[in-house]
Amino acid sequence: MSESPFPLPANIRITTLPNGLRVATDTMPHVETVTTGVWIGVGSRHEPLTANGVAHLVEHMLFKGTPTRDAFAISAEIENVGGHLNAYTGREQTTYYAKVLKEDFGLALGILADMVQHPLFDEGELEKERQVILQEIGQAEDTPDDIVYDHFLATAFPQQRLGRPVLGTAEIVFSLPRASLSDYVRGRYVASNMVLAAAGNVRHEDAVEMALRLFADLPTGEMADSEAGRYQGGEFREDRDLEQTHLLLGFNGIASTDPDLYNAMVLSTLLGGGMSSRLFQEVREKRGLVYSIHSFNWSMSDSGVFGIYAGTGPESTSELVPVVCEEVRKLSRTLTAEELVRARAQLKASQLMGLESTTNRAEQLGSHLLTYGRLIPPAEIVTRLDAVTLENVAACADRIFGTTPTVTALGPLEGLESYGDIAGRLAA
Q: Alpha-carbon torsion 155, 158, 162, 167, what sign?
A: positive
Q: How far apart, in whole angstroms, are the C-alpha atoms of residue 52 and residue 168? A: 5
* Strand pairing class (194-200; 22-27): parallel
Q: How far apart, in whole angstroms, are the C-alpha atoms of residue 203 and residue 384? A: 30
With H, G, I as helix, E, B as strand and everything else as coil, classify residue 109. helix
Question: Which amino acid is it at 141?
Answer: E
Q: How far apart, in whole angstroms, are the C-alpha atoms of residue 73 and residue 255? A: 41
* Greatest distance between any 2 Cα atoms in the chain: 65
- Side-by-side strand order, sheet with 22-27: 12-16, 22-27, 194-200, 33-40, 94-101, 84-89
Q: Is 139 left (phi over 0), alpha (psi -120 to 50) or beta?
A: alpha
Provide the β-strand partners of residue 306: 251, 297
Q: How far apart, in whole angstroms, are the C-alpha atoms of residue 133 and residue 139? A: 10
- Residue 192 DSSP one-character state: G
Q: How far apart, in whole angstroms, are the C-alpha atoms of residue 62 and residue 371? A: 24
Provide the β-strand partners of residue 292: 311
| Catalytic-residue membership of 59 | yes
Torsion angle, alpha carbons of 96, 101, 102, 108, to 10: -30
Q: Of residues 32, 47, 59, 285, which has the active-site annotation?
A: 59
Q: How far apart, in whole angstroms, are the C-alpha atoms of residue 32 and residue 103? A: 9
Catalytic residues: 59
